[in-house]
Amino acid sequence: MNFQTFHRNSISSYDEEKVEILKYSIKSNSNECHHYISISPDGILVVSLNIENFKLNLYKLDNLSESREINCYDFKNIDTSLKELNWSLSVSNEITLPDGTVDVLIAVSCFDENDMRYKDCSDNDMNNITNDKAIKHAETNKSITWIISVAHQSRIPSSINNVGGIIKFLDNKGDDSTEIVLINVSGIIKYLIKHEKIKDIINNLENDNWFNFFLSDKPIENFDFPTKFFSEIKRISDNETCDFFIQQSLIKGRLIVEDYKDQVQTVDMYNLKTNLLENTFQKFEVNDIDIGYPSFAISNNETLFAYCRGANSITIYLMENGLEVNTKIFKDRNIQITFFDFIQDDSKLLIAIEKGIYNEDTAEIDITPIIVIWDLFSSSDSCVRRTDNIYSLFPPKSEHPQRLVNSSGKLITITGDGTIIPILKEREIIKLMNLENDNPRNKILLNYDDTSSSLPNIKTYFSSSAMYYPLVYDFTGECLDSISENDRNIIVRNPEPWAQNKNHESILVYLDNNKSIQLIIGESTVQVWCKGENGSKSLEYIWVNKYTEKHRQFQIQSLKVCHEEFSLTLYIPSGTSPQLGDKIKLEWPESVNNTVDACQALEFFEKIKIVHSNPKIQFQFKDLIQQTQCIIKRCIVKRCGLWRMLDIRYDIMANLIRGNCVSIIRKILSSKSVDGRSKYLHIPRCYSWNKQIKETDLEIAIKCTKSGYRKNTIIIKYLLDYYTDNAVKTSNWMFTVSKAIPLLYEYQLEYYIKELFQKPCFGVNEIYL
């Protein structure tokens, strides 16, 4: 669904000279904060405005101690005796003009409640307003918008001089022009500034034809609101202005529109740069529309969309197809989520919460601010962390548009006295984001240099099916008797049954007092095993070196241990240059991802699988595979949301397909909750985490039938059945299927195509509007 567009070709009514002599009054906001702040789309530049003295300052976020004051004499014409005004502030990315000049554009819009309150002045819907009415509306309000060139310290005349509203620069990302969006109750205005004409326009202010010169290539564009959004504006206008609502609905160059019908919460995302409906997100739930204001966030790589209606839960969707990925429900009572944003390369979500606590002494509700860090891809028990003692960082929700801004993973606020605070650089926030382990670790001295992986020459003993450990340590770092210890307490005697080099000296570390947790560092794997009270053994963690070439065997650079923990640094040579190798750091249990590493291990096992003449060795290899599968099964049973998040970031479903893990894939695709509904543990995708086009999981499954990974094509059937069954509710599940149809023909799998078009999704489809 596109915005309906109309073009204002008439520009004679925009009088630049009239703008210069307009007089306004300023009525202080109830919070008496006179400072506004904005951040550029790329998160590099910050601009602040003090509406008491009309000082405009430009900063670089990495050096807030230095600023550049922007001199714009137009501000001096604002009076303080007539009526109350509101403000909107925006700053562009740095742009390079054709003459090589580096410039920055700043937009300041001044408006009153007439711009932000719908008035039903006719029988016609406001969306059908004519050009003449729109222009008259702007003239009546006496609003002003300044577009300022920092390089020239001058205002750039524009067709939106006499229009006021919420103003935003769109991310130009190196284009030869910059777009501005201005929104008020009349609709959406898009205005294009061509970089090559900025200097000429400023130098030709006295030319009567400067508007025609500036806009000769493209007129100003006006767009009507989507119907749902306009209806909400009319509803809000009965009691208050709509500037806060509009501001909250703008995120990363998108307009977000909510609707609720028949217990389906629908969120439409319109792209302001392309003028298109980008996606629709749905959630089936009881309406919580009255709980609070909505909050939205888009990850910096534009892969994830997070949404909350002010209640106690946040839902994350995949931007690519609108499917739900994960929902985090906070068990606290009487809370409202007021803000959140993706931080640290989109690996975490910072969440601001207000919790109401009844005060018996005052008989009132006291609000306690809470800051939460949600580690989105962590399997640790401490993946959600919180602190309550952050009273000064986040302003009240009503002041967010004025004092709290975020972009490109950067988050800043401005205090009542004008101090700019980068929130993510505050000590308490840093501590909350980066969970530090204070437990002292004991370094194990292995007596080898950094250029070789060879260990001390200690005599080893082997049998035909067992590998003993020449190097045995406890969690204090003490080296134990390798011979006697080998015979008594080790859980696994042959951790790498496929290993051909029986002279490789593996390391065994007991990580607890009763030696029931054991770290094993072999030739190509790192494993952690546990022994239960009944003598049963279980694999808790496994990491594999995916390279099988001898010259790419990993080297141990550092090993530190303590009670039930270890930190291991490995180096994998590139084979061509010492400077091009890979450094791997494993910190168990907090900073490793058991599930991801287990999936990659299963693909590795499929690549090096053996059929050994010794049945004992063959059994050991199969047992290791089954133990690795158990790690994955624990995740898909107990942490469904985490599994989906990990699949999106690390493509672990592809590992399982290439690893020929038929039973696990079947379990993933058929898992249901207690009410019989699908858990939707797998989400189809065409793009990787870094937004590059990738092979879909269905394409990988098809190609594996030819590559020798697959004895049959059952995984293809599982995937097709899964996608088509889910497509009965929404067609978003089918976009990778249509892409794979030519490949099915190429690999002579036409019978799947015949079955495909007999599925119910091609005859019955429920659509929620």
| 197 and 75 co-located in one domain | yes
Q: Which of 272-286, 398-412, 681-695 has the highest mean pLDDT?
A: 681-695
The answer on pLDDT for 218 being more than 70 is no
Query: How far is Cα 238 from Cα 165, in angstroms, rounded to an integer?
Result: 19
**pLDDT tens string 458-468:** 333 333 344 56
**pLDDT tens string 572-592:** 998 777 667 899 999 999 899
pLDDT at 600: 98
The answer on pLDDT for 18 being more than 50 is no
Dihedral over Cα of 213, 215, 216, 217: its sign: positive
Query: How far is Cα 457 from Cα 312, in angstroms, rounded to an integer?
Result: 59
Q: What proportion of the chain, given as a percentage, has pLDDT over 70?
A: 81
| Alpha helices (H) along 338-426 | 400-403
Q: Which CB contacts under 8 angstroms, 24+ apart, belong to 533-542?
A: 537/491, 537/492, 538/627, 538/630, 539/624, 539/627, 539/628, 539/630, 539/631, 540/589, 540/594, 540/631, 541/588, 541/589, 541/592, 541/594, 541/597, 541/598, 541/631, 542/597, 542/598, 542/601, 542/628, 542/631
Residues 6+ positions from 42 with CB-CB distance below 8 Å? 93, 171, 407, 408
Mean pLDDT of 351-368: 85
pLDDT at 627: 97
Element holding 211 (H helix, E strand): helix 210-214
Opening angle at CA 100, ends 99 and 102, nearest 5: 120
pLDDT at 554: 92
Query: How far is Cα 528 from Cα 518, in angstroms, rounded to an integer?
Result: 6
Mean pLDDT of 42-69: 93
DSSP per residue, 20-76: HT--------TT---EEEEE-TTS-EEEEEETTTTEEEEEETTEEEEEEEE--GGGG
pLDDT at 489: 80
Mean per-residue pLDDT over the chain, rounded: 83
Question: How sure is the predictor about 172, in pLDDT bands with cuts at 50, 70 and 90?
Answer: confident
Q: Which of 181, 211, 226 is the last residue of a domain?
A: 226
The answer on pLDDT for 23 being more than 70 is no
Mean pLDDT of 218-223: 80
Query: How far is Cα 470 from Cα 480, in angstroms, rounded to an integer?
Result: 10
Side chain identity at 671, as an amino acid letter? S
Query: How far is Cα 54 from Cα 603, in angstroms, rounded to an integer?
Result: 62
Mean pLDDT of 534-551: 92
Element holding 284 (H helix, E strand): strand 276-284
Q: Is residue 628 part of a domain?
A: no
Q: Is residue 231 part of a domain?
A: no
Q: Which of 606, 626, 654 is the last residue of a domain?
A: 606
Residues 6+ positions from 231 with CB-CB distance below 8 Å? none
**pLDDT tens string 396-449:** 888 888 899 999 999 999 998 899 999 999 988 999 998 777 778 888 877 544
Residues 6+ positions from 162 with CB-CB distance below 8 Å? 14, 15, 18, 19, 138, 139, 142, 143, 144, 145
**Number of CB atoms found within 10 A of residue 701's CB:** 27
Query: How far is Cα 256 from Cα 246, in angstroms, rounded to an integer?
Result: 9
Mean pLDDT of 19-45: 64
| 35 and 141 co-located in one domain | yes
Strand partners for 87: 110
Q: What is the DSSP letter of 3?
A: P
Element holding 738 (H helix, E strand): helix 735-746
Q: Is residue 14 part of a domain?
A: yes
| 463 and 593 co-located in one domain | yes
Question: How sure is the predictor about 760, in pLDDT bands with cuts at 50, 70 and 90?
Answer: confident
Q: What proportion of the chain, given as a percentage, has pLDDT over 90?
A: 51
Q: Is residue 244 part of a domain?
A: no
Q: Which of 226, 258, 280 is the last residue of a domain?
A: 226
> What would the two tokens of residue 163 be?
């229009």
> What would the two tokens of residue 264 be?
């389906």
Dihedral over Cα of 508, 513, 514, 518: its sign: negative
The answer on pLDDT for 161 being more than 70 is yes
| 691 and 731 co-located in one domain | yes
Q: Tell me which residue of 33, 158, 32, 35 sits closest to 107, measured CA to CA.
A: 158
pLDDT at 468: 63
pLDDT at 768: 46
Residues 6+ positions from 93 with CB-CB distance below 8 Å? 40, 41, 42, 44, 45, 104, 169, 171, 172, 173, 178
* Of 155 and 697, more confident: 697
> What would the two tokens of residue 683 be?
């989400």
| 568 and 671 co-located in one domain | no
CB-facing half-sphere around the CA of 464: CA atoms within 13 A: 6
Q: Give the dihedral of Cα atoms 436, 442, 443, 446; nearest 10 deg.
A: -140
Q: Which domain holds residue 713?
A: 639-769
The answer on pLDDT for 456 being more than 50 is no
pLDDT at 158: 87
Q: Is residue 633 part of a domain?
A: no
Total domains, the chain: 4
| Mean pLDDT lowest among 325-334, 555-564, 705-714, 756-765 | 705-714
Q: Is residue 612 part of a domain?
A: no
| 676 and 720 co-located in one domain | yes
| 431 and 443 co-located in one domain | no
Whether residue 26 contacts residue 78, with contact meaning beta carbons closer than 8 Å, is answered with yes
Q: Is residue 482 part of a domain?
A: yes
| 264 and 349 co-located in one domain | yes
pLDDT at 122: 53
Residues 6+ positions from 263 with CB-CB distance below 8 Å? 284, 285, 286, 287
Whether residue 412 contacts residue 37, with contact meaning beta carbons closer than 8 Å, is answered with yes
| 284 and 423 co-located in one domain | yes
Phi-psi region of 412 (alpha: psi -120 to 50; beta: other; left: phi over 0): beta
| 298 and 447 co-located in one domain | no
**pLDDT tens string 666-687:** 999 999 888 888 899 999 999 9
The separation between the first and the last C-alpha atoms of the chain, rounded to the nearest angstrom, is: 13
**pLDDT tens string 471-503:** 889 999 998 876 544 556 889 988 999 887 666
Query: How far is Cα 530 from Cα 491, in angstroms, rounded to an integer?
Result: 8
**Burial class of 750 by CB neighbour count within 10 A (0 to 12, 13 to 18, 19+):** exposed
Phi-psi region of 253 (alpha: psi -120 to 50; beta: other; left: phi over 0): left
Q: Is residue 555 part of a domain?
A: yes
pLDDT at 688: 95
**Burial class of 321 by CB neighbour count within 10 A (0 to 12, 13 to 18, 19+):** buried
**Number of CB atoms found within 10 A of residue 75's CB:** 20
Dihedral over Cα of 614, 615, 619, 625: its sign: positive
**pLDDT tens string 108-160:** 999 988 888 888 755 444 445 444 444 444 445 578 999 999 998 888 888 89
| 356 and 321 co-located in one domain | yes
What are the distances in angstroms from CA 395 to CA 54, 241, 415?
A: 22, 20, 8
Whether residue 541 contacts residue 568, with contact meaning beta carbons closer than 8 Å, is answered with no
The single residue listed with the structure tokens 């594999």 is: 544
| 528 and 661 co-located in one domain | no
Radius of gyration of the chain, Cα coordinates, nearest whole angstrom: 31
DSSP per residue, 430-469: HHHHS----S--EEP-----TT----------B-SS-B--
Question: How sure is the predictor about 248, in pLDDT bands with cuts at 50, 70 and 90?
Answer: very high
Question: How sure is the predictor about 391, in pLDDT bands with cuts at 50, 70 and 90?
Answer: low
Mean pLDDT of 344-372: 89
The answer on pLDDT for 29 being more than 60 is no
Element holding 735 (H helix, E strand): helix 735-746
**Burial class of 451 by CB neighbour count within 10 A (0 to 12, 13 to 18, 19+):** exposed
Dihedral over Cα of 128, 117, 220, 223: its sign: negative
